[in-house]
Amino acid sequence: MNDLLSIDDLGAPGINELLDLSVSFVEFTRRDIPKIPALRGKTVVTLFYEDSTRTRLSFETAAKRLTADTMSFTAASSSVGKGESLLDTVRTIEAMGVDAMVVRHQCAGAPHRIASWIDAAVVNAGDGRHEHPTQALLDLLTLRRHLGTDAFRGLRIGIVGDVRHSRVARSGVKAFAAVGADVTVVGPPTLLPESLEGWPARPATDLDDVLPELDVVYLLRIQRERLGAALLPSLREYTSRYGLTATRASRLKPDTVVMHPGPMNRGVEIAAEVADSPASIITEQVANGVAVRMAVLWSLLGSGGLVA
Amino acid sequence: MPERPDEFVIRGGRVVDATGDRVADVLVQGGVVAAVGRRVEGGPVLDAAGCMVVPGLVDLHVHLREPGDEEAETIETGARAAALGGFTAVVAMPNTEPPLDDAAVVASVLAAGREAMCEVASSGCITKGRRGEELAPMGELYALGVRIFTDDGACVDEAGVMRRALEYAGALPGAVLAQHAEDPSLAGGGHMHEGAWSSRLGIPGRPEAAEATVVARDVTLAELTGTPVHFLHLSTAAGVALVRDAKDRGVAVTAEVAPHHFTLTDAECRTFDPAFKVHPPLRTDADVAAIKAGLADGTIDAIATDHAPHVPEAKERPFEEAPPGMLGLEAAFALTLTELVEPGVLALQDALACLSWQPAAIAGLDGHGGPIEPGRPANLCVVDPAVRWEVDPSRLASRSRNTPYAGRKLTGRVRHTVLRGEPVVVDGIAQR
């Protein structure tokens, strides 16, 4: 693997390998000094054209725990405002000598373009509506740690909300299905993809129909701008039809877990008391992010294989 | 071959035009065809053995980028690319800067075109600034020779404005309103065909319905006003079906398709390479099949390239941020021969009709596309139908490099092009 651009780059064996590696890094981060010289002398740059404090910090923390040098580039504080093109920016950064570029961009496929321009490894940290592979991996890691290694096969996962505009959903559907889960995407027709041809998932427009069968309820963030585009009448109507309210949560199976990639709109797609309930594993998701990103960086830049 | 010979013979070719198909020599004298027949003598010889001699091709749809974006293309370089592609006439689209909504700008394009290696007809805008609001001075532009009016690049999306423009053009005999049929309220913000691939790639889409709704509406308006409507770069099965139905009912509509819409599909976008970004977008296999069927049954009148040059930097961007458009002039004839004639989708003569005399008739370009017979202007193309060649972006005559066909092997290459009796391309080499 030279780059991590899409879950498609991994397949089930690649996913499982990264998850195994991530588990070892989880153990490792519990040590008193959670730092190893695995990537000493390597340089990892985060190149973020969209704001995302949590993902950027998670990658930078992962790189630092592996003793890589890190550089950070954000569009807001850079020469992008002076009209520099993506190609020129990327070549300039590469000329400084970097081994991996972690890219977040508002356009689908921007990391793929960058990977075609430079030799350094490229990690997709979210591209437009396309993919966010490390999010899907950390979600799988969270489920595996919570439910056990063999829990994926036949696991019923419902991804609820704005699937159409969601890179988290696109990576998640692929990753969950690859490890054997049974995926349903749930939302109003205006927020489901125009076509699901080739998606290993089936659609549902009535959350209450599918809710009692789900083992995992994965909620997506609803953005206010969808109202202006005539995709939704109101957030209140969304909540009444698709929000995981306390009432709906009470109809879940006792061992069903609730996930969310953050940041949450409490009171819209998820009720505050549900987010904070024992069924919620949302904070575990955040905690697992660093370990997964360590695994990804180690796989791309390290000598390969498991870290002892 | 002397420079600009006044007299020469195109020797040994198979002459194919609207009237038939025969082996004959063609004598050109003083800019016109002087004789066609066996063993015609006179002046130096342009060898055409094993080649087809056909009326010069006519492209209803090119973006020459002048004025305003001469880094990407100029009238001179675009016309050279056209001549190398076998075209003797092109219609320049109006989305220049400033746009072709003003007599002085149109006059400057026509003046530059007179020096070019193919005839350059200018389109004119339907509305001022291509904004779809107020009418451009269509009568003034018509007086300069403009026959194709279009806001191409933009759709005249308000039905009331399109209706008034069609009514107004009713006083301009031979004028045609050419529509870029994509409803911006459906296609706006989209970057590729809306379907399985766009949903998978997370790229906002441009639905088939964006074309079909405008075609359906404008067929109705053509019927209402009696003014002919030409549909630019039709890309969908639904669009083809609507035009077929309109023609069956006798409505005055014509339609063109671009080579990329019968040779490429939206699956090409899976690598996120903006070379494959174009408006209207590359569609599905079913749309490609429908376009071929539309060509075969005469629903489609013309093959037009939508030649749209962009500087390399413009395409070295993420897909969603790159401008739409691709080069077309230098590969169109070969694509037609390779993808339509060779597999038997179109008979040779029907393909030439779409590339030459039918578009010439739509644009009112009387000197082009006519039968190759004595007294006709010598606007001719000689193509070697057997040559296999590979598209190499670095060897194109266009100032830009944004072809989606890099590395593609094609059959049939233009050998000579004759413009008003002047051999402007000889043995595949531009003469000026």
Q: Are residues A150 and A248 in the same domain?
A: yes
Q: Are residues A149 and A119 in the same domain?
A: no
Residues B55/B352, Cβ–Cβ less than 8 Å: yes
CB-based contact B319 A167, cutoff 8 Å: no
Residue B390 has pLDDT above 90, yes or no: yes
Q: Are residues B277 and B356 in the same domain?
A: yes
CA-CA distance, A233 to B240, in Å (whole number)? Answer: 36
Residue A305 has pLDDT above 60, yes or no: no
Q: Tell me the whole-structure pTM to 2 decimals.
A: 0.96
Residue A286 has pLDDT above 80, yes or no: yes
CB-based contact A113 B319, cutoff 8 Å: yes
Q: Which residues of A touch B316 (CB under 8 A)?
A: 85-87, 113
Q: Which of A3, A194, A220 to mutate to test the interface with B (most CBs of B within 10 A)?
A: A194
Closest approach of chain B CAs to the CA of A53, in angstroms? Answer: 23
Chain A residue with CA closest to B274: the answer is A113
What are the φ/ψ torsions at residue B359 (nearest 5 degrees)? -60, -35
Closest approach of chain B CAs to the CA of A165, in angstroms? Answer: 7
Q: Are residues A114 and A187 in the same domain?
A: no
A111: left (phi over 0), alpha (psi -120 to 50) or beta: alpha
Q: Which of A85, A89, A107 to mutate to test the interface with B (most CBs of B within 10 A)?
A: A107
Mean pLDDT of A202-217: 98
> In 3D, which of B53, B137, B60 has the Cα closest to residue B364?
B60
Q: Coil, helix or strand for A258? A: strand
Q: Is residue A143 part of a domain?
A: yes
* End-to-end Cα spacing for chain A: 21
Please tell me if residue B190 touches chain A, with a CB cutoff of 8 Å. Answer: no
Q: Are residues A234 and A292 in the same domain?
A: no
CB-based contact B204 A87, cutoff 8 Å: no
Q: Are residues B174 and B49 in the same domain?
A: no
Which structure tokens are listed for A49?
A: 């054209």
Cis peptide before B55 (omega within 30 of 0): no
> In the prediction, which pLDDT does A82 show?
64
Q: Is residue B1 part of a domain?
A: no
By percentage, how much of chain B surpasses pLDDT 70? 99
CB-based contact A108 B317, cutoff 8 Å: no
pLDDT, tens only, B410-429: 999 999 999 999 999 999 99
Q: What is the CA radius of gyration of chain A?
A: 19
Q: Are residues B130 and B238 in the same domain?
A: yes
* Beta-strand pair B52-55/B7-17: parallel
Q: Are residues A61 and A102 in the same domain?
A: yes
Count of C-beta atoms within a 10 Å radius of residue B229: 27
Count of C-beta atoms within a 10 Å radius of residue B71: 15
Residue A77 has pLDDT above 70, yes or no: no
Count of C-beta atoms within a 10 Å radius of residue B268: 17
pLDDT, tens only, B321-338: 999 999 999 999 999 999
pLDDT, tens only, A120-148: 999 999 999 999 999 999 999 999 999 99
Cα angle, residue B129 at apex, residues B123 and B134 outer, rounded to 5°: 100
- Beta strands (DSSP E) in A143-200 are 156-160, 182-186
Q: Are residues A57 and A125 in the same domain?
A: yes
> In the prediction, which pLDDT does A85 show?
86
Domain hosting B424: range is 7-53+374-430
Q: Are residues A21 and A57 in the same domain?
A: yes
Q: Is residue A306 part of a domain?
A: no
User: What's the pLDDT band for A155 if we cut at 50, 70, 90?
Assistant: very high
Mean pLDDT of B59-67: 98
Which structure tokens are listed for B252?
A: 């005055």
Total number of domains in chain B: 2
pLDDT, tens only, B257-301: 999 999 999 999 999 999 999 999 999 999 999 999 999 999 999
Q: Is residue A25 part of a domain?
A: yes
Q: Which residues of A touch B207 (CB under 8 A)?
A: 194
Closest approach of chain A CAs to the CA of B274, in angstroms? Answer: 10
Q: Are residues B34 and B126 in the same domain?
A: no
Q: Are residues B176 and B230 in the same domain?
A: yes
> Which B-chain residues 288-327 have CB contacts (< 8 A) with chain A?
313, 316-321
Q: Is residue B33 part of a domain?
A: yes
Mean pLDDT of B74-80: 98
CB-based contact B199 A107, cutoff 8 Å: no
Q: What is the CA radius of gyration of chain B?
A: 20
CB-based contact A197 B203, cutoff 8 Å: no
Q: Which of A104, A174, A195 to mutate to test the interface with B (most CBs of B within 10 A)?
A: A195
Q: Are residues A37 and A108 in the same domain?
A: yes
Which structure tokens are listed for B281?
A: 């977008």
What are the φ/ψ torsions at residue B370 (nearest 5 degrees)? -70, 170
Domain hosting A264: range is 133-281
Q: Is residue A148 part of a domain?
A: yes
> In the prediction, which pLDDT does A287 show?
87
Q: Are residues A113 and A234 in the same domain?
A: no
> In the prediction, which pLDDT does A306 show?
47
> In 3D, which of B343, B414, B349, B407 has the Cα closest to residue B381?
B414
Q: Which residues of A touch B194 (CB under 8 A)?
A: 194-195
> In the prediction, which pLDDT does B81 show?
98
Count of C-beta atoms within a 10 Å radius of residue A234: 9
Cα separations (Å) of A68 from A22, A39, A42, A101, B254? 17, 5, 5, 12, 63
Count of C-beta atoms within a 10 Å radius of residue A40: 10
Closest approach of chain A CAs to the CA of B268, in angstroms? Answer: 13
Q: Is residue B368 part of a domain?
A: no
- A9: which DSSP letter? G
Closest approach of chain A CAs to the CA of B195, in angstroms? Answer: 6
Give catalytic status of residue B350 as yes or no.
Answer: no
> In the prediction, which pLDDT does A53 show?
84
> In the prediction, which pLDDT does A4 show?
98
- Please provide the average confidence, as pLDDT, over all residues in chain A: 93
CB-based contact B318 A105, cutoff 8 Å: yes
CB-based contact B272 A109, cutoff 8 Å: yes
Q: Are residues B148 and B242 in the same domain?
A: yes
pLDDT, tens only, B194-216: 999 999 999 999 999 999 999 99
Residues B324/B308, Cβ–Cβ less than 8 Å: yes
Q: Is residue B26 part of a domain?
A: yes
Chain A residue with CA closest to B320: the answer is A107
Mark B168-198 as b/e (b = at least 16 C-beta within 10 Å): bbeebeebbbbbbbbbbebbeebbbbbbbbb
Of B196, B202, B316, Cβ closest to residue A108 = B202
Q: Are residues A91 and A145 in the same domain?
A: no
Q: Coil, helix or strand for B204? A: coil
Query: What CATH number is associated with residue B67?
Result: 3.20.20.140
Indicate which residue of B69, B152, B306, B384 is catalytic.
Answer: B306
> Which B-chain residues 340-369 have CB contacts (< 8 A) with chain A?
none
Residue A23 has pLDDT above 60, yes or no: yes
CA-CA distance, A214 to B98, in Å (whole number)? Answer: 59
Q: Are residues A57 and A176 in the same domain?
A: no
Which of A35-39, A44-48, B82-86, B382-386 has the lowest average pLDDT?
Answer: A35-39
CB-based contact B199 A112, cutoff 8 Å: no
Closest approach of chain A CAs to the CA of B326, in angstroms? Answer: 18
* Beta-strand pair B429-430/B422-426: antiparallel
Residue A308 has pLDDT above 50, yes or no: no
Q: Are residues A274 and A162 in the same domain?
A: yes
The amino acid at residue A116 is S
Query: What CATH number is associated with residue A137?
Result: 3.40.50.1370
